Chain A
């Protein structure tokens, strides 16, 4: 399975792919040094100029789709189109300086062999250069700019995502030289997925579920995850539950991807709310994203849509159906226009928009607290997922 997906049966798509390399700290520092030297060279040349920064364009115009042929995994990736950050454009000058400031700070962090979270990086930059950084969002965008400039992954820059995802169920994890952790005995909050990708890479994964037919991984919302974990649903329906507590972060996707590689026979099923945002979360797990397009494609998995879907809406009581918000419609529009979305998903999406309603998975509790477990079991047994 591993070799099949690595083999370039994607014909020429690979040549268009622009990826962020996963590098050692020394190599990243070298790349930063090269950027500085290039900048100085042009500044020092007989025809001096302040060079622009060429960044890989992170817009949908630069995104491409790789359709899996012999594999069932498709993903979104970014191609080689550039946009530039220039010091000479008046309103973009600060953005230009921000990229250099973040590179400087990452260089220091890597030299000290430390790692920081995006939030910690924000505090440093806020206090160090208050006239350039005022919000976390700016810092996050600038980090993506640096990735697009240096073509190295966020983790290689020394930036760790704070742990957000949780996993529970029939899974035994072992960190190198540590105790084995049984994820079915972790309590209702499960095992917290670390943001440290190198740690996740070294985890030894085992599941005891080979004999059972319908083992699954479930991608869930946090409240549902807690409920199902408390009810030990994974003992009734042998499974592993994962939540990213909202929009999926790289660490959770990385772990899911590893689980997929380790246990290729276990289907991955997603249980999301009946609204465009829920489908968007599913698609991010499935295809990756444009925003982190240079890295995200690596962790695409073949996730199937278990629920909530159009047929389930009849199970939801009237009072739990809420109207779609303008933001939901916006998300729906951009999903519809995406070329990677398969036909049956588009049908479900048009049904959502046509009815103008949304519903949360929690609405199923109307039928009783154990209803959710039964609902999931029935769907799995009937293989009712797309």
Chain B
């Protein structure tokens, strides 16, 4: 397996690009790319020639996360002003605006069926679940406070939730916190199940394996990428190779590889059989905030603090 660089767009945004996601193809158009940036805009790109389709404005602070509904028809963008905007991808018509308290909106992901949107709740130490048909808040999955601590105890803020991931069967949600713990919840019963230990620094990105609903990958500031058995609560392996914080991780649809982006400016391709990094792409000149595999495979995109977007072929 390997990456081959395809295309790069310099100055895709006016500031650092922090978030990227693929928007699945619909019956009327092929897959698109959605990027969100510190410059407060969300941009829509045609991935074949990296042509800009549209720029959405309206957020008041930097865009921290973008997520696409599995149907490819709607998408959501979240910004530091703690608003989540849900919009129609093709027309940019606003569908809903979800509001939360300051610093309580971070990463988001739609569940594989598209009926729920999970939003990592930052300082609220919880994950909020929104119903996509009515846009009502249906559940708040809270991380339980550690034993013996008072509610006002400052250490509870270490459970600041940055990242969130749905298991492919939609039954589990995992979220990563600033203190390195990963919490796994049972979605149908809206119950906390257990913590996954191993990291001691912020877990900025999580992704379940698309082929095995028990396997979870995590990317942490401690420069390691962990592979967990999320049901059995055990760490399968810790992979090292990055020189600095690992900011983003994504799994390939064929289940054979993962890719990571790091503040050491590289994008690495990891082989899951060998459990080691196979290749390192160095075309970014600053931290790589987001990496993403195309849902049907074959392509990977990375975005960086250097304001550029890079497209690679994965084979």
Contact = CB atoms under 8 A, between A and B. Distances in A.
B114 A130 contact: yes
B224 interface: no
Contacts of B93: 119
A127 B69 contact: yes
A124 B26 contact: no
Interface string A217-245: 00000000000000000000000000000
Given A128-B133, A130-B70, A130-B114, 9 more contacts: A122-B73, A123-B95, A126-B71, A126-B74, A127-B133, A128-B115, A130-B71, A131-B113, A134-B27
6 contacts: A123-B74, A126-B73, A127-B114, A127-B132, A128-B132, A135-B26
Interface of A: 119-120, 122-128, 130-131, 134-135
B152 interface: no
A321 B30 CA distance: 33
Contacts of B115: 127-128, 130
Interface of B: 26-28, 69-71, 73-74, 88, 93, 95, 113-115, 131-134
Majority secondary structure, B binding face: loop
Interface centre among A119, A120, A122, A126 (most CB of B within 10 A): A126
A158 to B, nearest CB: 15
| The 7 residue pairs across chains A and B that have the minimum distance between CB atoms | A127-B132, A128-B133, A127-B133, A124-B133, A130-B114, A135-B27, A130-B113
Interface centre among B70, B132, B133 (most CB of A within 10 A): B133
Nearest to B73: A126
Nearest to B113: A130
Contacts of A126: 69, 71, 73-74, 114
A132 to B, nearest CB: 12
B293 to A, nearest CB: 22
Contacts of A124: 133-134
Contacts of B114: 126-127, 130
A127 B131 CA distance: 8
B91 to A, nearest CB: 8
A136 to B, nearest CB: 8
A134 B71 contact: yes
Interface centre among B73, B74, B115 (most CB of A within 10 A): B73
Nearest to A125: B133
Contacts of A119: 88, 93
A355 B28 CA distance: 33
Contacts of B69: 126-127
A124 B73 CA distance: 12
A125 B133 CA distance: 7
Contacts of A134: 26-27, 71
A124 B115 CA distance: 10
A229 B70 CA distance: 44
Nearest to B28: A135
A112 B95 CA distance: 19
A119 B73 CA distance: 11
A195 to B, nearest CB: 15
A85 to B, nearest CB: 22
Contacts of B27: 134-135
Nearest to B95: A123
Contacts of B28: 135
A352 B70 CA distance: 46
Nearest to A127: B132
Contacts of A131: 113
